[in-house]
Amino acid sequence: MSATTDHTVRGGARRIRTLLRVKRPGRLAAEAAALLIAVAVAFPLYWMVLSAFKPAGEIQSTDPRPWTLAPSLDSFRRVFEQQDFGRYFLNSLLVAGTVVILSALIAFLAATAVTRFRFKFRTTLLIMFLVAQMVPVEALTIPLFFLMRDFGQLNTLGSLILPHLAFSLPFAIWMLRGFVRAVPEALEEAAYIDGASRTRFLWQILFPLVFPGLVATSVFSFITTWNDFLFAKSFIISDTSQSTLPMALLVFFKPDENDWGGIMAASTVMTIPVLVFFVLVQRRLVSGLGGAVKD
Amino acid sequence: MTTHTPPLKAPAAAAAGAGTGTPAGRPPRRRRSASPRHHSGWTPWLYLLPALVLLAGLLVYPIYQLGLISFLEYTQAQVSGGEPTTFKGFDNYATLFNDSQFWQVLLATVLFAAACVVSTLVVGCAMAVLLTRIRALPRLALMMAALGAWATPAITGSTVWVFLFDPDFGPVNKVLGLGDFSWTYGRYSAFALVLLEVLWCSFPFVMVTVYAGIRAIPTEVLEAASLDGASQWRIWRTIMAPMLKPILIVVTIQSIIWDFKVFTQIYVMTNGGGIAGQNLVLNVYAYQKAFASSQYSLGSAIGVVMLVILLAVTLVYLRLVRRQGEEL
């Protein structure tokens, strides 16, 4: 499917290009500009990885060079030795993974409810989901702190999972709506005529069809959860074994002199899973975004 | 999955934006008057139950609590149970509104967010247009670089940008010949540095979304217009811009919401709000009030102010959406 999508995409872009009568010299200039911009945009990431591999002496050099002659794993070693970094990594993965999977399932059910059923308060609910997306969750840190405290959830991964799960839902529902709606109702009727139960239709027919949408949605919940800094900082206060990656990164900021090698190595380790995830779902993300936005 | 090949195309068609019409053979009205079975009582609520429980417990209730705390006297003494909580009415708001620092932070937040939104939209749209004018390979390069920036977690993006602009070890000062100029020392240079990072990691969303939107415009329409002799400017103004309007509204609103509540970048890049709090924005300000100085009531009042501002933005958005006659 992605192959066909991609084909039409390319064809479409080419046709738009011809239509807009982009002249050859102009196009070459545009392409040169695009490549330059791509290099500039990628540079911070390059610098991060490069600095992570630079030996201590080169990192401290006041004459920084965009290459290294003696790549070293020292910074990574320091990162993994310090502060249970591997554990933080697993915690982050656990939190983000749980949020992604649960929010996908819950949002799928909710999106199905609001697209394939007519019921009282349906529109009200939809507006509520829309409004919920706009709530500045950062402002809720204080009440959530007390809520987590009252339920004995402070210093647990649950205090990170639960809020992120709730906050990722409205957007996920909103985005999945378009995908669920695109599945023809005739298909549902046919399934029932063939004797399928509603549950069977939901999980064995609708779910696989909507899966590309779930993937696109997951990117957003994964990123917001993986990015979380504020909640981790506010809710994981005494039990550092429950901490997540952003906290581990801060260890390398020191009042007198920052350990840049360590910071860059930790940043690299923290960025790579997201990059991998992005590359894996890149096509579906782009087409999913088109679908969700259009809707 | 292979047995259901034809329906599989449906989401793809919608995703690729195969025109404004509904999928083939299905009149738009049909969905509204679904078969009676679809009215069946409790099933939709059953499907909605997990989502609603989570949202009620972790969003609606905390909002209520936020409002409540903002009207109480709530500091370390009350939190630890040493003193009873007392109702203070609008006292916290009075304290807040009489504090000149609050107004300064509010102004800084609005201006900073506005600068971020405008630059993100301009750069994002320009890049989207650029993408439509180049061949596949450079397009892939730009797309990949942008996705990389987008995927970078806010905290690592922040650390890398601070390092790039480090007065001693960063390459930027060296290339620009700025010596040991410290970007985070001055108020405006620090805000500018954070703005650059925010722009870097948020223009890709606008770029990809607007690009998807341009792609979704049926080429037949453009062809017809150009056959009729319409100029490029006219095609843009009368066909593309109106068709892109819904997308532009979405990305604008998302950017406003997102940039208004930037936390990590400011916190990490300016070390908690800059020298003497010169780079505070509302979010960081509320955090500092609540968790650093245990003035939970004041922190909550700031939170309520943020909530009110963003809800106002949301209402404007809802009106825009409804005016376009979109069905929810």
Mean pLDDT taken over chain B: 84
Q: Specify the length of chain A in residues.
A: 295
pTM: 0.85
B201 confidence band (pLDDT: 50, 70, 90)? very high
Residues in chain A closer than 8 A to B174 (CB atoms): 63-64
For A263, phi then psi, to 5°, come to -60, -45
**What pLDDT does A291 receive?**
55
Mean pLDDT of A236-261: 85
| Residue bearing the bigger pLDDT, A132 or A2 | A132
Q: Which amino acid appears at position A51 of this protein?
A: S
**What pLDDT does A268 receive?**
95
Q: What is the CA radius of gyration of chain B?
A: 25
> Six-digit token pair at A58?
């080169």
**What pLDDT does A58 receive?**
87
B35 confidence band (pLDDT: 50, 70, 90)? very low
| Residue bearing the bigger pLDDT, A5 or B136 | B136
Nearest Cα to Cα of residue B115 among B256, B218, B249, B248: B256
DSSP reduced 3-state for B249:
helix
CA of A90 vs chain B CAs: smallest distance (Å): 16
Mean pLDDT taken over chain A: 85
Please determine, for residue A154, whether its predicted confidence score (pLDDT) is greater than 70: yes
Mean pLDDT comparison of A41-50, A266-275, B245-254, highest-scoring range: A41-50
CA of A196 vs chain B CAs: smallest distance (Å): 14
**What pLDDT does B316 receive?**
87
**What pLDDT does B13 receive?**
36
**What pLDDT does A240 receive?**
77
Mean pLDDT of B18-45: 51
| Residue bearing the bigger pLDDT, B262 or B3 | B262
Alpha-carbon gap, residue A263 to B273, rounded angstroms: 20
DSSP reduced 3-state for B117:
helix
Q: What is the DSSP letter of A227?
A: H
Among the partner-chain residues A35, A277, A286, the one whose CB lies closest to the CB of B138 is: A35
**What pLDDT does A26 receive?**
82
Alpha-carbon gap, residue B208 to B15, rounded angstroms: 13
Please determine, for residue B6, whether its predicted confidence score (pLDDT) is greater than 70: no
CA of A294 vs chain B CAs: smallest distance (Å): 7
Cβ-contact A217, A176 below 8 angstroms: yes
Per the DSSP assignment, residues forming a β-bridge with B86 are: B73
Virtual torsion, Cα A122, A126, A127, A130, nearest 10 deg: 170
Lowest mean pLDDT among A273-287, B12-26, B64-78: B12-26
**What pLDDT does A199 receive?**
87
Nearest Cα to Cα of residue A46 among A57, A35, A38, A34: A38
**What pLDDT does A23 receive?**
65
**What pLDDT does B321 receive?**
76
Among the partner-chain residues B170, B212, B299, the one whose CB lies closest to the CB of A142 is: B299
**What pLDDT does A100 receive?**
94
Q: What is the DSSP letter of A255?
A: S
Residues in chain A closer than 8 A to B4 (CB atoms): 205, 208-209
Among B45, B96, B160, B184, the strongest candidate for a mutation testing the A interface, having the largest count of A CBs within 10 A, is B160
Tell me the pLDDT tens digit for each residue of B77-98: 787 777 778 888 899 999 999 9
A90 confidence band (pLDDT: 50, 70, 90)? very high
Please determine, for residue B125, whether its predicted confidence score (pLDDT) is greater than 90: yes
Q: Specify the length of chain B in residues.
A: 328
Neighbours of A242 (CB within 10 A): 22
**What pLDDT does A290 receive?**
58
**What pLDDT does B62 receive?**
96
B23 confidence band (pLDDT: 50, 70, 90)? very low
| Residue bearing the bigger pLDDT, A154 or B20 | A154
Cβ-contact B4, A205 below 8 angstroms: yes
Cβ-contact B152, B234 below 8 angstroms: no
- Give exposure, A63-101, as e/b (b: 16+ Cβ within 10 Å): ebeeeeeeebebbbebbbeebebeebbebbeebbebbbe
**What pLDDT does B326 receive?**
61
> Six-digit token pair at B79?
């939190």
Interface of A with B in 38-97 (CB under 8 A): 38-39, 41-42, 44-45, 47-48, 51, 59-64, 66
CA of B142 vs chain A CAs: smallest distance (Å): 5
Q: Which residue of A has its CA nearest to B300?
A: A142
